[in-house]
Structure 1
Amino acid sequence: MQDKTNTIFGIYPIKEALASNIVFDKVYIQKGAENDKIESLVKDLKKANVSINIVPFEKLNRLTRGNHQGIVALTSPIAFQSLETIVEKVLETQKTPLFLILDQITDVRNFGAILRTAECTGVDAVIIQKSGGAPVSGDTVKTSAGAIFKIPICKVEHIKDAIFYLQGSGITTIAASEKTNTEIYSLDLKKPLAIIMGSEGKGISKSVLGLVDERASLPLLGEINSLNVSVACGAFLYEVTRQRRL
């Protein structure tokens, strides 16, 4: 259920929020809406680099019971960071940086739990895609136990571009995938790393898997052949921590 405290709806309220430098997480616009005022607002939102999603009328009705006028915005409790700025800063101060890339994690509770573990394991920044992922909301703050305020979050247009950039900066990319016989425990995790976790249903997209330097799995000894993504992420991050403390 969407946290109503971070929802703004209607053309003029969203326009005023944008003018007041409110940080937006996502903006949803009704599919097929033809309105000069919405079109003008969309141009301003794009200039501000806000993620815009075209959705059915029913989606907007689920987000709010008010007169949304075909547009609903979700605000963010944090300001997002520039990937380039964060990577440059981290490389200047850390010999073995650790980044975490989330390929469209959609459940806000998983997202919050992952942020909490990431902060506890010393992740330098979390990288997410602008579209397709869970909203950064009050629910995220709650499930992350406040970790969202302590770790930089970078939003990028495409995960693939982030991977290219990190690889070009000398950072090894490792994808969590069951489609490999290489277990995470057999890899050297003491070098600069970016761990990539996929979505709850589909995992890491094929296009992303084709770009990474390594794939790694966790042993599954029971009859169930998958783990919750936040649990798997915790196992990966704590193996990095274990190796780096040896």
Structure 2
Amino acid sequence: MEKDNQIFGIRAIIEAINAKKEIDKVFVQKDAQGDLMQDLMKTMKRNNINFSYVPVEKLNRLTPNNHQGAVATIAPISFVSLETLVEGVIESGKKPLFLILDQLSDARNFGAIIRTAECTGVDGIIIQKQGSAPVNGDTVKTSAGAVFNVPICKVDHIKDAIFYLQGSGIKTVAATEKTEQHIYDINFNEGVAIIMGSEDRGVNPSVLKIVDEKAKLPMFGTIESLNVSVACGAFLYEALRQRM
């Protein structure tokens, strides 16, 4: 993790959050106590900041400085709002192609997906504030810099984003093995948002209930699933093939 993208110390993190800095994630020491730590927790929850509890050893690895039980990472990019992203693409006259990542947690997978998204003309990537992979140095590196070229939007809830997209005339398609439809049965040659799930759980069942269509990749081997970044690439290139 780049030290330039870090804030350490509880009060410094609180001030950064209140100043509306692009805080990507806060790592908080397990079992940390004290009034100031309680203030930090309240501030993070009030501003819907992504955080996770970690052992003190992880914080010590992140920074040699006096972290006081908390280290924050600043995103190297600025995020866009969902409304700005969707309205801008629709007004441009393009056939929208969005990618929704439902709590994907690995930064390297995230970076690889961003790289493929940039290569296939994705108009924007939508992630959830809580539980999603951070936009950090690993993300930037594995995206080969593509993270600076693809708009990324953080939303409070994936389901609300899906409802907004559907209300804007954009079809939502979830990648899941819980269907009989293959990706080759889906029409991607229209405004569409493809939803990819987390590495271990896939797309959330509550999300699967509200999407317009579900699709899976045909599998002939003994392993039941692909790495999510590889599967995402297959979906995006099928969409690109249909649009060419």
Q: TM-score, normalised by structure 1?
A: 0.89
AA partner of residue 135 (structure 1): P
Paired positions, count: 243
AA partner of residue 115 (structure 1): I
AA partner of residue 66 (structure 2): N
Q: Distance in 2 between matches of 1:164 and 1:60?
A: 38
Change (3 A) 1:73 1:149: same
Secondary structure of 2:13's counterpart equals: helix
Which has the larger displacement, 3-12 or 70-79?
A: 3-12
AA partner of residue 174 (structure 1): V
Name the residue aligned to 2:154: 155
Name the residue aligned to 2:10: 11
Deviations 1:29-80 (A, max 9, x none): 3455443334445555566x45142525446456445432122211110011
Q: Distance in 1 between matches of 2:48 and 2:137?
A: 19
User: Is 1:122 the equivalent of 2:126?
Assistant: no
AA partner of residue 187 (structure 2): D
User: Is 1:180 the equivalent of 2:179?
Assistant: yes
Q: Retained in 2: the 8 A contact 1:128–1:159?
A: yes
- How far residue 86 of structure 1 moved from its aligned partner, in angstroms, is 0.8
- How far residue 28 of structure 1 moved from its aligned partner, in angstroms, is 3.0
Q: Distance in 2 between matches of 1:132 and 1:61?
A: 22
Name the residue aligned to 1:200: 199
Name the residue aligned to 2:90: 91
User: Is 1:132 the equivalent of 2:134?
Assistant: no
Unaligned runs of 5+ in 2: none
Q: Distance in 2 between matches of 1:127 and 1:21?
A: 20
Question: Percent identity between the aligned chains?
Answer: 62
Deviations 1:124-164 (A, max 9, x none): 10000111121100111100000000010000111111111
Q: Distance in 2 between matches of 1:16 and 1:164?
A: 34
User: Is 1:51 the equivalent of 2:49?
Assistant: yes
- How far residue 244 of structure 1 moved from its aligned partner, in angstroms, is 0.7
Q: Distance in 1 between matches of 2:148 and 2:97?
A: 18
Name the residue aligned to 1:167: 166
- How far residue 179 of structure 1 moved from its aligned partner, in angstroms, is 1.2
Unaligned runs of 5+ in 1: none
Which has the larger displacement, 14-23 or 2-11?
A: 14-23
Q: Distance in 1 between matches of 2:8 and 2:155?
A: 25
Name the residue aligned to 2:217: 218
What's the C-alpha RMSD, in Å, of the aligned pairs?
2.2
Secondary structure of 2:139's counterpart equals: helix
Q: Retained in 2: the 8 A contact 1:81–1:155?
A: yes
